[in-house]
Structure 1
Amino acid sequence: MGQERTGGRPTSKPGRPLRGSGSRRRPRPRRRGIRVAAWSAAGLVAVAGTGGGYLYYHFNGNLKGVDINAALGSDRPDDVDNGSMDILLLGSDSRAGANAEYGLDEGGARADTAMVLHVYEGHKKASVVSIPRDTLVTRPDCTAENGQDEPGGTRVMFNTAYQVGGPACAVKTVEQMSGIRMDHYLEVDFSGFKNLIDELGGVDLTLKQPVNDAKSRLDLEAGPHTLDGEQSLALVRTRKAVGDGSDLGRIQLQQAFVKALIAQAKSVGVFSSPTKLYGLADTATKAVTTDSELDSVKSLTSFANGLKDIGGKNLDMVTMPVVYDTSDVNRVVPLEKQSAQVWAALKADRPIPASATKDSAGDKGEAGKVVGS
């Protein structure tokens, strides 16, 4: 899934908790301006398009693109043209460079957060399917970014696909699991996520109970908060504060955070200050890696405008149906029949049936006891 803020942001050093005492919610002015299309990667896209022509080439230079189509060739699911759209959203956990403070560099980034965003025909509603990073899957053969062949395998953790083969291997693995061709790819790393939240002014969130997780360095009291980038990142990374401490509980928190972000960020004001305008667009375009079809400000802005009508009330969020692995309780395995129902519904551009997630461990988390109004 930064720069230090002033005006009440708690100062934190690696290894010390991020306390919430300096970030209780403050009255925020009503703002007018462009609409943020969705959340995280999708939300930053709309901001990227506000810079005007005089900064167009600069912001284009910030963007990083990956040619997924060239990397995967024709060995992919059919491109279904029914007006819907499927996007793989990844939060990568590299500890290299600006991300070093979040842990040791273990020799490559992994997909710390993975969501398949399905936008239904008409682009008025969407579904999100979170894929637990600890899911044991059959990973296909991939090609590493250095050109080396990486053989696939069975019972391999899902998040290693990104580690061995980068974005193309992550997309290939998701397409093999789901039978759905991904139309686009969007990725944000730790520092990009944190900086973006800070530039957007934080995220308002109400906690029903305290959240304290020494590993993610998060220490928040119950009650309303305006979380800055550091605290937001800690919240979506925390595992010990919810449920049984597994990745499934963290996914529940991530989904609750997404809902909170959408609720307050449907309209983001672009200040008249050129410096603020520049900061928003510059941070947004630096934070994201996309597929090659979205690696321009024009394409990203068009993409974001296509999502502007999607809000929390017409966004369905579920976790891919899974159960804990019988031989390793730290891993989960897909419920094959139920997962097939989820993917079949999206492929046919239909809502995900409630029966598909009824027996899944992934949607029995306790985020509702932690986050809410």
Structure 2
Amino acid sequence: MHRLALITILTVSLLKGAAAQHRDSLIFGGQASAWINFNPDQKLSLNSGVRYIPQLNYELSSGNRKFDVEFSLNLNANTGIRPFDSLTGNAAGKPYRAWLRYSGRQFEVRLGLQKINFGSAQMLRPLMWFDQVDPRDPLQLTDGVWGLLGRYYFLNNANIWLWVLYPSDKPKTWEFTGTNAKIPEAGGRLQLPVFSGEIGLSYHHRITDTRENPAGFRQVARMPENRFGIDGRWDAGAGLWFEATHTGLHDFGELTQQDLLTLGMDYTFGIGNGLNIIAENLIAATGEKAFRYKNSLAFTGVTLSYPLSITGNISTIVYFDWENRNAYSFVNYKKLVGAFQFYLMAYYNPETYLIPAQASENNYFAGKGIQIMMVYTH
């Protein structure tokens, strides 16, 4: 909570120094959702929950300069039931976003608990370094990271990012170890226009703490990790993109070298209201030496989306695990009614859930089942 207190103090200080003639606005909004999930493969087959994310935004502007603040909470409660046998429930709350930003015509600096994401891929994302967004999640929820992010935008549409992050004791997406609690993480990204698209170069450095890892791996308090990424996207009638990363650790067994590559494309066919198809293929491999792999996996993901009307849409996402010969399927019907969104989802997946970077402690999409969700935004 000391990080949240620092953000509050800085915000109050900046507001006190603002001149009276500056334009400002204060907006309160939020998102409420409720869901019920039936999955006979789960220990508790019937699960339900509610969530509310209240959000407060303040903006102060003068000419081309702007100072703004965002603060939101993630408040949720859920219960699990096995009819006539078991009942459990819990409730939790935590900050969801808590940042302040100072920006001008070609730059911005943002400090606090924030979402940082980039890259070209949409389903199977090697550059999902700091978020955990599941493309099947209607709410697109993800925890943020505490840090300082600066971005500068050049007039030719190129831009550069620099960040410093508060170390996290828990592994983030694609990470196998936590970070040393005494040493901040840091990195950057450069995006450049290339022909009809763009290409991005990313880098991130941290000092890992491997002492919580299973036996068989080197366990030390400080092990450097360097992560490199490159991605590009172009419009050639169809959208084409690639995304690749290389992660290097020092003497960490079969995880010393980690490589990921995704190739993807999308196209909208002129069928009815327009059928959009997205396809991606991910290859991941690890080994003790670069390009000499001992473990590998390959996943293909396909998304089809069709608008039934202005307020209705149906979509499906299918993943295929080539190593284990398993398919993951998901269908979603979405209906808008004013400020309400209604979702009817069905899924048929293996009980052992192996989609890269999407497995979680409480994964209701493992196995087969249906889920109904209602979302209200104000």
| TM-score interval for Structure 1 and Structure 2 normalised by the shorter chain | under 0.3
**If the length of structure 2 is used for normalisation, what is the TM-score?**
0.25
Output the TM-score relative to the length of structure 1.
0.25
Between Structure 1 and Structure 2, the one with more strand by share is: 2
**Considering only CA atoms, is the larger Rg found in Structure 1 or Structure 2?**
2
Greater RCO structure (CA 8 Å; 6+ sep)? 1
Please state which structure has a larger fraction of its residues in helix.
1
